[in-house]
C-alpha cells in the first residue's frame, strides 16, 4: 500500500532555501515572461496604475488569488472577468499553498495578486518559497507602492534637493514589531529623511506622541493619505503635533499612508544640478573638442 505524501510544512520550505541563490536570478530580469505563478503587484488602488505586465497576466489567468479588500474591486472586475477569483484574507499558508499548487498542477494559469508592490510588506517570499518547495516555480512582477501614489497625490517628491536626501519605508511598533525594532524616531531625527509609514494608521496618535516625547519639532509636516489613488481618497495634512487628532476626527483606522518630513510640503528646496550648469558641461566639452 502506497503511503500518501504529507502536506509540506511551509516553515520547513522556508528554512530549506535559506542561503541558496537561485540560478534564475542570472537568467531573467523584472518584466520578463517566465514559467510559473507570478506574484503581481496590483498597485495602490487605481486600476490604471497596474503595470502592463500585470494586466497581461491577469487577462490570461484562470485563477487569481488576491489580497481581498486591499485590491480595488474595480481592478478585479476590469481585468479578471474571465478568471475565478479567490480572496486570500483569512487563509493561512497551509491553505493557500495547496490551493495554488493544485490549480497550477491541474494546468490552470494562476496569478497571485498582492496589493501595492509584493516587495514592500507583502509577505510574498514565504508563499513563493513554499510553492517552490512543492515544485511550483514562481516569480515577482513589481507594482506601484502606496508611498509613490501618495507622493503623486501630494504633487511632490519624496526626495528633494537640500530637503530630503533619503526615504525610509517603515512601520510602527505593535503586534508584529517590538519597541526596539521601531526606528521611526531615528529616521525623523536625521532631518533629511522622508519617512513613509505603512500599516500604522491605527497607531498614528501613539507614534506622534512618542516623537514629541523624543523632542522632535512639533511643527514637522505630516500628511496622511487615506486610500491613495482610490475613488474615496482623502488627504489630511498636519504636523507631528496635530496629525493624530485630525486622523482620529476623520475616523480612519486603516489604509492610510503616513508621510513625515519637510518634503511633504514640497517647499524650500534648492534647484538641482541636473538641469543647471552641471547638465551643460557635456555639451560645452563637446564644443571645446570641436574647436580644437
- What CATH number does the domain containing 112 carry? 3.40.1010.10
pLDDT band, very low/low/confident/very high, at 8 (cuts 50, 70, 90): low
pLDDT of 186 above 50: yes
- In terms of domains, do 103 and 126 share one? yes
Grid cell 500518501 — which residue?
4
Residue 173's Cα: distance from chain center in Å? 18
Do the domain assignments include residue 2? no
Please name which of 291, 236, 255 lies closest in space to residue 72, comparing C-alpha atoms: 255
pLDDT digits (tens, 9 = 90+) for 202-227: 999 999 999 999 999 999 999 999 99
pLDDT value, residue 6: 45
What's the structural domain count of the chain? 2
pLDDT of 241 above 60: yes
Cα–Cα distance, 220 to 264 (Å, whole number): 9
Residues near 150 by Cβ (< 8 Å), separated by ≥ 6? 44, 196, 223, 225, 228, 257, 259
Q: Which residue, of 123, 144, 165, is where some domain finishes? A: 144
Do the domain assignments include residue 65? yes
pLDDT digits (tens, 9 = 90+) for 128-139: 999 999 999 999
Do the domain assignments include residue 204? yes
Do the domain assignments include residue 286? no
pLDDT value, residue 14: 67
Do the domain assignments include residue 3? no
More confident residue, 179 or 55: 55
- In terms of domains, do 193 and 80 share one? no
Residues of the chain above pLDDT 90, percent? 75
Residues near 16 by Cβ (< 8 Å), separated by ≥ 6? 129, 133
- In terms of domains, do 195 and 218 share one? yes
Residue 98, domain extent: 10-144
SS3 sequence of 148-164:
HHHHHHCCCCCCECCCE
pLDDT of 1 above 50: no
Amino acid at each position: 500500500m502506497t503511503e500518501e505524501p504529507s502536506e509540506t510544512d511551509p516553515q520547513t520550505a522556508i528554512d530549506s532555501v535559506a542561503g541558496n541563490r537561485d540560478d534564475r536570478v542570472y537568467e531573467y530580469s523584472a518584466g520578463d515572461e517566465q514559467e510559473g505563478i507570478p506574484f503581481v503587484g496590483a498597485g495602490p488602488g487605481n486600476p490604471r496604475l497596474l503595470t502592463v505586465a500585470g494586466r497581461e497576466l491577469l487577462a490570461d489567468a484562470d485563477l487569481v488569488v488576491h489580497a481581498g479588500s486591499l485590491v480595488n474591486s474595480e481592478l478585479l472586475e476590469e481585468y479578471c472577468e474571465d478568471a475565478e477569483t479567490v480572496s486570500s484574507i483569512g487563509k493561512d499558508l497551509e491553505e493557500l499553498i495547496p490551493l495554488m499548487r493544485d490549480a497550477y498542477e491541474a494546468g490552470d494559469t494562476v496569478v497571485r495578486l498582492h496589493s501595492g508592490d509584493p516587495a514592500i510588506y507583502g509577505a510574498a517570499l514565504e508563499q513563493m518559497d513554499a510553492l517552490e518547495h512543492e515544485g511550483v516555480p514562481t516569480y515577482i512582477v513589481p507594482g506601484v507602492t502606496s508611498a509613490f501614489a501618495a507622493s503623486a497625490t501630494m504633487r511632490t517628491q519624496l526626495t528633494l534637493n537640500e530637503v530630503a536626501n533619503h526615504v525610509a519605508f517603515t512601520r510602527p511598533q505593535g503586534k508584529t514589531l517590538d519597541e526596539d525594532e521601531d526606528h521611526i524616531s531615528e529616521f525623523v531625527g536625521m532631518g533629511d529623511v522622508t519617512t513613509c509609514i505603512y500599516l500604522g494608521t491605527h497607531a498614528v496618535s501613539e507614534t506622534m506622541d512618542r516623537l514629541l516625547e523624543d523632542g522632535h519639532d512639533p511643527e514637522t509636516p505630516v500628511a496622511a493619505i487615506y486610500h491613495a489613488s482610490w475613488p474615496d481618497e482623502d488627504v489630511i495634512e498636519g504636523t507631528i503635533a496635530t496629525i493624530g487628532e485630525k486622523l482620529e476626527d476623520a475616523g480612519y483606522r486603516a489604509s492610510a499612508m503616513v508621510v513625515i518630513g519637510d518634503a511633504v510640503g514640497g517647499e524650500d528646496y534648492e534647484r538641482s544640478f541636473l538641469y543647471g550648469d552641471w547638465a551643460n558641461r557635456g555639451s560645452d566639452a563637446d564644443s571645446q573638442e570641436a574647436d580644437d
